[in-house]
Amino acid sequence: MREPYLSWPEAAWLIMQFTICANYLFMPQLLYSMSGRLSWAVTMIAVLPAVAGVWATYYLHARFPDERLGQFLPRLVGRPFSILFGSAFILFWLGGAATNATVFAHYVSDTSLQFTPVTVLVATNVLMIVLVSLSGLKTLVRVADALLFIVVPFLLFSQFWPFFGSRIDLSNLAPMRLSDLGADKWRLAGAALAMYHGYQFVFVAGPALNPPGRSALTAGLVGTLAAVPAFLSFVAMPLLAFGWPYANLLTYPAASFLEVVAPKTGLFPIRRFDFVLTVLFRNIMIIAAMSYFYSAAQTLSDLVSPSARRMHPWFVAGLGIAVVASSAAFKGIRTVMQFTGVWVLLGALVTVLTVVLAVVARFRAGSAGRR
């Protein structure tokens, strides 16, 4: 067994990026379509199921500190259910990797690189994802660490600058009608359940945590709570700037918001500061997509071959090619958005499964411990 190398602040930072991912490019529209101008409230309501999920993940990690999801699932729920439950997680994570890589490729294609085929943009994203996955979890962690000083200042800037830029009109949130939340309540409940799911990374990175146990809880809570202001700003800021229903007509409200509040630079080629932010947010998307992809690949590998030391390189490369190929099925951002609607429901299922697994672990004392 290797020395654990993942401290809780590193894990929290990774969980935050895993949670934020490219959500800012698709979550606002999704929420607007469900709950109108009160969508921003959902980002806070969603904290409750997230805390339950964090606790359940921590509980499972505490019961199986040296094992990943794919390793402890068969002993916890039996072989047939492990395949069923594991498939739900794998599908959700693979869907997350594909969605992130694809939605970002569409955004870049729509705004700056008009002549580059979207598949090429997806392929460049997936190339990096596969490279890091081939190098292992430690490389993923270190890449995420290295981005801290590059991404955090701009992330903070994008959240605080608008308040000094006089583009914000708080009255755009009015009138607040609670009935907006009930307009599409089942889909909305699904979105709320799935919104903060970054803590699931503990299922894969758990054995690397140093120290194990409580650090999983701390990292899960801190990472999730750190993602809340980011989500809140991505959903609320476009409403504050553009008003309703204008915000609902935009394809990428949060990205458009960055465009209109970005300070004027006037200097070519940094003519549009939002492009700079886009490049930086691309890093978050890549980290998140890597985490999704790595989690899916590792869990699939563990389910098939629990004792294997490493994932087979051809298996990882093949999975990467599958992601690129599946992205080709998305004809335009509209199809991607339709898929995210389904993907979010899958996320809700996975959150429920996480809690169910913790409950099962609580009542099946004999399943704990090393294999």
Partner 1 sequence: MDSTRAACRTAAALASILLMMTTCGCWDALDIDRRAFVAVMGLDSDVSGEGHRPRVSLMIPMPGGGGEGGAGGGGAGGGEEMTAKMLVVDETGVNAEEAVQKVRAMVGGVIDFSTLQYVVTSTDASPDDLTGAMHTVQFTRFIPMTPFMFATEQKASDLLRAESPSGKSFVDTLDGIQAQSRLGLGHVHYPQAWETMSMLINKTGDMTLTLINSTDRGDGLEAVGAAVYDGAKYAGTLAPTDALMLQCVALRRYSGGTYLFRGDDHELLIRIIRARTKVEVDRGNADALRFRVSMRVNAVLMDSGGYRLPLLNRKKLDELEQVAARDMEARLGRLLERLQGWNSDAMRLYHEARVKMPEMSCEDFKRVYPGVKAEFSVSMLLVRTGLLR
Contact set with partner 1 (CB under 8 A) = 105, 108, 110-117, 120-121, 124, 127-128, 131-132, 135-136, 138-139, 142-143, 146-147, 166, 171-172, 174-175, 242-246, 249, 251, 256, 259-260, 271-272, 279, 282-283, 286
Residue number with CB closer to partner 1 (17 or 354)? 17
* Shortest distance (Å) from residue 251 CB to partner 1: 8
Nearer to partner 1, 146 or 322 (CB): 146
Q: d(Cα 262, Cα 274) in Å, to the nearest integer? A: 6
Q: How far is CA 53 from CA 41, 248, 269, 315, in A?
A: 19, 30, 44, 30
> What is the smallest separation between the CB atom of 293 and partner 1, expressed in angstroms?
13
Give yes or no for a contact between 167 and 177, defined as CB atoms under 8 angstroms apart.
no
| Cα dihedral: 202, 285, 258, 179 (round 10) | -50
- For the CB of residue 70, give the shortest distance to partner 1 in the complex, in Å: 23
Residues β-bridged to residue 1: none
What phi and psi, each to the nearest 5 degrees, are found at residue 267? -100, 115
User: Per this entry, what is the length of the chain?
Assistant: 371
Residue (of 92, 254, 89) closest to 158 by Cα position: 254
Query: What's the gap between Cα 88 and its chain centre?
Result: 16
Judged by CB, which is closer to partner 1: 242, or 292? 242
Question: Minimum CB separation from partner 1 for residue 125, in Å?
Answer: 8
87 vs 135, beta carbon nearer partner 1: 135
Which residue number, 166 or 370, has a Cβ lying nearer to partner 1? 166
- CB nearer to partner 1: give 110 or 184: 110
Measured between alpha carbons, how far is 242 from 292 in angstroms, rounded to an integer? 32
Between 114 and 307, name the residue whose CB sits nearer to partner 1: 114
> Min. distance of Cβ 121 from partner 1 in angstroms?
4
Choice between 99 and 278, CB closer to partner 1: 278
Specify the residue, 251 or 367, whose C-beta has the smaller distance to partner 1: 251
Smallest separation, CB 191 to partner 1 (Å): 25
Q: At closest approach, how far in Å is the CB of 169 from partner 1?
A: 8
> Smallest distance from the beta carbon of 259 to partner 1, in angstroms?
6
Least distance to partner 1 from the beta carbon of 172, Å? 8
